[in-house]
Copies of this chain bind each other. A is one copy, B any other.
């Protein structure tokens, strides 16, 4: 049966492309209050797609933008249920002058389709929708139960996703969540991402005096919040680039030898990676490789500093205040709450006498990791290999996806992240694109995934 499904897919590429183009033309920018009608049109487009396939679908209202839930229905076998997650909302276009073709006028150049949302995420979630359509058309029904949750608020932080999951917990019950919102490893190599980092984002403000002081008249006699904050930040890491917050590494799960060995097999070019951002050196936690630092190890970074006089030239002041933005990326099983408290205690401990400190916490998100021996990952890998003709790289991400711990907590399901877009796809930037060949291979992969899981 799967061969017939794949043949059907391969012979319907033109129609698939038309569908993608139609959806990409709808400028459903979730950050833009004036885009509300477009947002609804984009949701309706998905809803009608499912209805046209004969898949039961509903537009679920939220306090913000609606989500689309669909369900292929129960099957007789004891095959698992998969919930495909995706989002139909998109980022703003940004500076239009930087786009070679209109962000909402899909344009095909060199085998790529350029448009906002082509990679993030319409083009990717549509692969799964089209695979289900193919299965329905060819086989009449699916060999396993597939559900869909396509939301419209991912680009604004999914503020209502938790409530959707709670309110529709039974409808959305599943054995696996599957999402395609991550990249391939490289042009040649698809990827399955099995872990993302957690994040804590803090803003620390030191206040010493009620006003900036003349550094001549007052220098050397009052606390300087700029020097003091530099001092405190400096203490956050040791000479080995290890974070010195109390208990920071206590709950870090050390990687199994298999995981470390698997990283070694990836065709990762350190020089190319370094040069891609115009950097002169790689650095990081002592005793770890670059990929380990990037994916397996927790980090701490200054994201911003502001203090005193920052204009042209010289102004001789002892600043009244100094501010730092500092973020930490966490790995399993670090607790975001616990590390956040440790950070706050560290600041309190190291702030010198005479300086008041204030801490704002902007983000508190746990890491996520799907156990490498999870059978879903094996099914996904087999499907990718069948769809792309190339075994996937197993990767983790340095970025954070708060929705994954949410799926785990509410639905009890692990997430399988199968990436079809390129790492260089200009996600959130001008000239976002999806390689058409990857789009078609993604549809095949999704069809294979159903076959794999149902067998």
Contact B308 A325 (CB under 8 A): yes
Write the A299-338 contact mask toward B (1 if CB under 8 angstroms, else 0): 1111111111110011111110011110101000000000
In the complex, what distance in Å separates the CA atom of A418 from the CA atom of B221? 24
In the complex, what distance in Å separates the CA atom of A363 from the CA atom of B316? 10
- A231 CB-CB contact with B under 8 Å: yes
Contact A329 B233 (CB under 8 A): no
Known: A209-B279, A215-B301, A277-B210. A314 touches B325 (CB 8 A): yes
Query: A325 — which chain B residues lie within 8 A by C-beta?
Result: 308-310, 314-315
Residues of A84-103 whose CB lies within 8 A of B:
none
- A285 CB-CB contact with B under 8 Å: yes
In the complex, what distance in Å separates the CA atom of A293 from the CA atom of B211? 20
Query: A353 — which chain B residues lie within 8 A by C-beta?
Result: 280-281, 283
- A217 CB-CB contact with B under 8 Å: yes
Which of A305, A323, A362 is the most central at the interface, judged by chain B CB atoms within 10 Å of its CB?
A305
Oligomer: number of copies: 2
Q: Which of B221, B278, B284, B318 contacts A211 (CB 8 A)?
A: B278
Who on chain B is nearest to A290 by CB?
A: B221
Contact A302 B293 (CB under 8 A): no
New A-B contacts (19) at CB < 8 Å, excluding given A220-B285, A220-B297, A227-B237: A214-B399, A217-B397, A219-B301, A220-B294, A220-B299, A222-B279, A226-B304, A227-B233, A227-B234, A227-B236, A229-B230, A231-B234, A283-B353, A304-B317, A305-B310, A306-B310, A313-B362, A314-B327, A314-B363
- A282 CB-CB contact with B under 8 Å: yes
Q: Which of B223, B298, B314, B352 contacts A362 (CB 8 A)?
A: B314
Contact A302 B216 (CB under 8 A): no
Query: A299 — which chain B residues lie within 8 A by C-beta?
Result: 215, 219-220
Write the A323-367 contact mask toward B (1 if CB under 8 angstroms, else 0): 111010100000000000000000000001111100000110000
Q: Which of B221, B303, B305, B316 contacts A230 (CB 8 A)?
A: B305
- A398 CB-CB contact with B under 8 Å: yes
- A79 CB-CB contact with B under 8 Å: no
Interface residues of A (CB under 8 A from B): 197, 199, 201, 203, 208-211, 213-224, 226-227, 229-231, 233-237, 273-274, 277-285, 290, 293-294, 297-310, 313-319, 322-325, 327, 329, 352-356, 362-363, 397-400
Contact B306 A306 (CB under 8 A): yes
Known: A201-B316, A279-B354. A302 touches B226 (CB 8 A): yes
Can you offer 20 A-B residue contacts whose CB atoms are under 8 A? A215-B301, A216-B329, A219-B294, A219-B327, A220-B298, A220-B398, A221-B282, A221-B293, A222-B284, A226-B302, A226-B305, A230-B234, A230-B324, A302-B307, A302-B322, A306-B306, A310-B323, A310-B325, A314-B363, A315-B325
Contact A303 B283 (CB under 8 A): no
Known: A303-B316, A305-B310. A281 touches B219 (CB 8 A): no
Query: A309 — which chain B residues lie within 8 A by C-beta?
Result: 303-304, 325
Contact A282 B222 (CB under 8 A): yes
Contact A277 B329 (CB under 8 A): no
Q: Which of B235, B278, B397 contacts A209 (CB 8 A)?
A: B278
Contact B305 A306 (CB under 8 A): yes
Query: A233 — which chain B residues lie within 8 A by C-beta?
Result: 226-227, 230-231, 234
Query: A285 — which chain B residues lie within 8 A by C-beta?
Result: 220
